[in-house]
Structure 1
C-alpha cells in the first residue's frame, strides 16, 4: 500500500482585511496514511477538502510538506499526479468531453497514442464498470449516478494507484450512493475520501475528524464517528 505522509503540512492564506494575521485553512498536521480506506469527516468549511487537495497538489502547503511514496507534492506535482487521482463531488466539473467514451479516451491519451487502441481500451474500461451502453451518450444526458460512475471510470482509466475522492456521493440518490460506494470498495486502489455520510465513513479502516482546520480525532470508525457526533451535539447546544 502507498504511504501518504504529512510533515507539519498546513495551509494559511492572507487575511482579506489586510491584517497581519493569516487565515488558517488547515493547521499544520503530521501523519502517515497507510490504510486501504481512509475517511475524512467534518462540518462544511472545516478543512476536509483542503486536506484532500494537498495530497495531489490541487492545493499546496504554506507550511511543511506532503510526500506521496517518497515524492514531495509541491516539488514534483506532475509525478505525484501520475500516482494520485482525484474525484470531485460534482462529476460535471471533470467530465470535459461531449460523449462518455471520448472522456474516457481523453484519460488514456497520455499512455495510448494509437486512436483505435485507445478507443478499444476506453470501451473495455466502460464495460468493466457495466457502462458500455452509455458510450455514445452525451454526459449531459446522464443521471447523477451515471455521471459520477463515468467520472470514476475516466479517473481510473489513467491507472493511478491512489484515489482521492471529495464527497463523491453528495449529489446521489440512495440507490446510486450505494452503487458508487460498493464500486469504490471493490477497487484495488488506496482510497482517501471525504464524506458527510456517516454510514459511508463507517466502512473505512480509519477515520479522521476535522474541525476548525484541525484534525481533532484520528482513529477507528466507531470512535471517530462518535467523537464527531459529540462535536455536533455540542455545537448545536451552544447555538440554541
Structure 2
C-alpha cells in the first residue's frame, strides 16, 4: 500500500542527462504550504520540477508524491499535482478556450458534456463566460497564463508547481497573478531564480550544481543566495564553454 503521508519525498534521487549529473542524490521531505526552489540557470531547478511532477524518473533513488510514484502512476499523479510552466504556449494545445480547459477533465475520465459544463461554470465564476469560444490566439500573454492556471485548477490537484510564474509579465499582471496564487488552498512549489518571488514562502531551498546548497526560512536562505549571486556577478565568468 502507498504511504498516505501528504507531501513530496525524494530519497537520494539522481538524474543523469547526456552523461551529466543534473541532480545529485537529492533527499527531501516537503510538506509546507508555500515552498520556494531557488537557483540560477543550469542549477537543476527545471529538472527537479519535472522529477517531482513525474515527467521523468530518477536513474537512482525514488520520488513519492502524497505516497505515490508520480512517474509510474500517471493517473494518480494527475489528481495529485498540476504544473504551470513559464511559457504558456508550451502548455496550450487547443485552439479555443473551452477546448483547452476541458482537455484535462476529459483525459481524467469526465464526459465531454460534463467537462464543458464545468468549464463554463468556472469561467462564469471568474467573470469570463464570454471567453469560452474565444480563440486562444486572441488572448494576451497574461491572459494565456490565466488560462493555463484555470486548466490546472479545474483538475483540483493538491499540489501545484509554478515554473517562473511571473517571468515576462507586466507589473499589473504580475500583481494579479501573485494575489491569486496567495489565495489558493493548494500547496505551491515555486521554481525561480528571483529571490523576491519566494520571499513570503514557508521554506526556501537553494539549488546549486544539482545539490541543495541551503534549506530553511527565506530570512536565512535569501541573503546568502543574493550575496553569492552578487559575488559571481562580479567575475567575468561567462566566457567558458560548459558541457
TM-score by length of 1: 0.90
Tell me if 1:112 matches 2:110. yes
Given that 2:102 and 2:112 are in contact with CA atoms closer than 8 Å, whether structure 1 keeps it comes out as: no
Q: Tell me the distance in 2 between the aligned counterparts of 1:60 and 1:99.
A: 33
Given that 1:38 and 1:206 are in contact with CA atoms closer than 8 Å, whether structure 2 keeps it comes out as: yes
* Structure 1 partner of 2:174: 177
* Structure 1 partner of 2:241: none
Q: Tell me the distance in 2 between the aligned counterparts of 1:172 and 1:90.
A: 10
Distance 1:205 1:130, change over 3 A: farther
Given that 1:2 and 1:162 are in contact with CA atoms closer than 8 Å, whether structure 2 keeps it comes out as: no
Tell me if 1:156 matches 2:153. yes
Structure 1 unmatched runs, 5+: 16-22
The Cα of 1:58 is off from its aligned counterpart by 1.3
Distance 1:186 1:61, change over 3 A: same
The Cα of 1:111 is off from its aligned counterpart by 4.0
Structure 1: 4+ residue segments shifted above 6 A: none
Q: Tell me the distance in 1 between the aligned counterparts of 2:221 and 2:125.
A: 34
Q: Tell me the distance in 2 between the aligned counterparts of 1:180 and 1:235.
A: 31
Tell me if 1:62 matches 2:66. no
Q: How many residues are treated as equivalent by the alignment? A: 232
The Cα of 1:184 is off from its aligned counterpart by 1.3
Distance 1:138 1:25, change over 3 A: same
* Structure 1 partner of 2:221: 224
Q: Tell me the distance in 2 between the aligned counterparts of 1:53 and 1:140.
A: 27
* Structure 2 partner of 1:36: 33
Provide the alpha-carbon RMSD of the alignment. 1.7
Per-residue CA deviation, residues 15-62 of structure 1 (Å, 9 max, x unaligned), is 3xxxxxxx1111111111000010111111111111111112112111
Structure 2 unmatched runs, 5+: 238-243
Distance 1:14 1:187, change over 3 A: same
